[in-house]
Chains A and B, each alone.
Chain A
């Protein structure tokens, strides 16, 4: 066995029974907190769980019904909050399937636990306090930025909280401070590579060593390509705000898929149609229970991500199972440059604009390394008065409406009525031309 780096060797290499003991203990506590919330009180009661003592073994987890994104929409804002607001230190939010966002609350210990999981993840990649870390994910309500930020500080790295965008400045910063580790989406990293050399800064001028890549699914081929092009090691990272954010699963130095931190999360792979729990090695929907968060307990959350758990151990010696890279979605959610976009969000906004007729199409393709979203709409003939400025204003109005909902600015194409394809039955609203490599 290799001499892999650990943040907490004891936990990370605990044997199965040790892990399961911890899980059971923490599951009971979590059920206790969940029973304080409107979201869980009744539904747990319906299956005979009215107190933590009703959880006698990990098998009892399966009695608990799944939690879905719609449940969180319905319980917005506080139906799933288990503590008083005074105890909440942080609020993060992510896009909902329609206008209502998903909100997650963190009490002090929850933040501490989350940060610890990230420190553990970072150390697992071989990064140390000697590293200079450029956090290129969005800061703000999105968990990707602040999550890794605090984890990196806990490890003692030198953190540059630069956030996303402004490619020239990103590259200049990498040179100025000799950044060694990046946190970034794979598509943006590819884009950065394409821009090297433009301002006289070449790869040789940089000290890049590693990248933590996440927020959008990508293939092994893409990872290898990034590694080859940039001469770095790229580590896959998985998380979602409903389960804290990043730090649910992370690759170790072996880079053979991501260890789920099983003392903090109970992962299940289920058949998306029947809900039946599948065996390790079988592909299905990732369902996660967070057992180290008090303010917003989350039991059996259906992520809608498709993946499988590796039955075998890892050469690093960790006993926490590895989750495969994400293989797809069970719903129609799109990921555009790391941002989650539901077609229904777009539809909701478009339908409210009177100048737009009912036929539209969502088009996704690549512009260079980056994803590009274009919404094609048919204009409504009666409202056309012949003025170019009004049509341009309409375009801007559509962009603003959409941006308020999906946070990114799509391209808008105005089309004549009847020119966009119409399909029998369910319209094929989304055309995704990005290569599935």
Chain B
């Protein structure tokens, strides 16, 4: 099941990242996972939050360029080789990963990762078939 990631365009300007976090924090939105993709001249902040609709509304009202992206939250054995085994499986089934990053919290005793796939629907089919546990939007909100 897909979950919602919010991507925010960040100009290479002092304080932009801090502004985003303050805005969300001041309005009771909690960040669950976060990563930044940077280039020489700008960055893209990717966050998974507990209140996506509110977050997007706040960001857009405050002149941030933000949009939703579908990603998947996967549980991975929390031990050396845990991630590698999942990645090997996905690769064997021709599932392409564009990027991934970690959650702040765990849902169970397993590690929790956000993954963005080239073909989300196909990836979900493979994950279901391989019995890899996917965490839902509802579960995230409860974290």
Contact = CB atoms under 8 A, between A and B. Distances in A.
Nearest to A381: B65
Contact of A416 (B39, B46, B63): B63
Interface of A: 379, 381, 384-388, 391-392, 413-419
A418 B63 CA distance: 7
Contacts of A419: 11, 13
12 contacts: A379-B65, A384-B67, A385-B7, A385-B67, A386-B67, A387-B44, A391-B39, A414-B9, A415-B11, A416-B10, A417-B63, A417-B65
Interface string B53-70: 000000010011111010
A386 B37 CA distance: 10
A49 B40 CA distance: 62
Contacts of A416: 9-11, 63-65
B41 A414 contact: yes
B4 to A, nearest CB: 11
Contacts of B67: 381, 384-386
A386 B9 CA distance: 7
A172 B7 CA distance: 50
Contacts of A392: 39
Interface in B18-50: 37, 39, 41-42, 44, 46
Contacts of B66: 381, 384
Interface size classification for chain B:
20 to 34
A418 B16 CA distance: 14
Nearest to B5: A386
A379 B63 contact: no
A156 B115 CA distance: 70
Contacts of B65: 379, 381, 384, 416-417
Contacts of A384: 7, 9, 65-67
A391 B11 contact: no
A34 B11 CA distance: 55
Nearest to B10: A416
Most buried by A among B7, B41, B66: B41
Contacts of A386: 5, 7, 44, 46, 67, 69
A388 B64 contact: no
Contacts of A385: 7, 67, 69
Contacts, number: 48
Interface of B: prevailing SS = strand
Contacts of B7: 384-387
Contacts of B44: 386-388, 391
Contacts of A381: 60, 65-67
B7 to A, nearest CB: 3
Given A379-B65, A416-B63, A418-B63, A388 B11 contact: no
Contacts of A414: 9, 11, 41-42
Nearest to A416: B11
Contacts of B46: 386
A213 B65 CA distance: 47
Nearest to A418: B63
Nearest to A419: B11
Contact of A413 (B41, B60, B69): B41
Nearest to B45: A386
Interface in B92-121: 98
A268 B41 CA distance: 48
A385 B44 CA distance: 10
B21 to A, nearest CB: 16
Nearest to A357: B65
A414 B38 CA distance: 13
Nearest to A392: B39
A82 to B, nearest CB: 50
Contacts of A387: 7, 44, 98
B63 A391 contact: no
A387 B10 CA distance: 12
B103 to A, nearest CB: 18
Given A379-B65, A416-B63, A417-B65, A388 B39 contact: yes
Most buried by B among A384, A386, A387, A417: A386
Nearest to A414: B42
A419 B69 CA distance: 24
Nearest to B38: A388
Contacts of B63: 416-418
Interface in B120-143: none
Nearest to A413: B41
Nearest to B71: A386
Given A381-B67, A386-B7, 18 more contacts: A379-B9, A379-B65, A381-B65, A384-B66, A385-B7, A385-B67, A385-B69, A386-B5, A386-B69, A387-B44, A391-B42, A414-B42, A415-B11, A416-B63, A416-B65, A417-B63, A418-B63, A419-B11
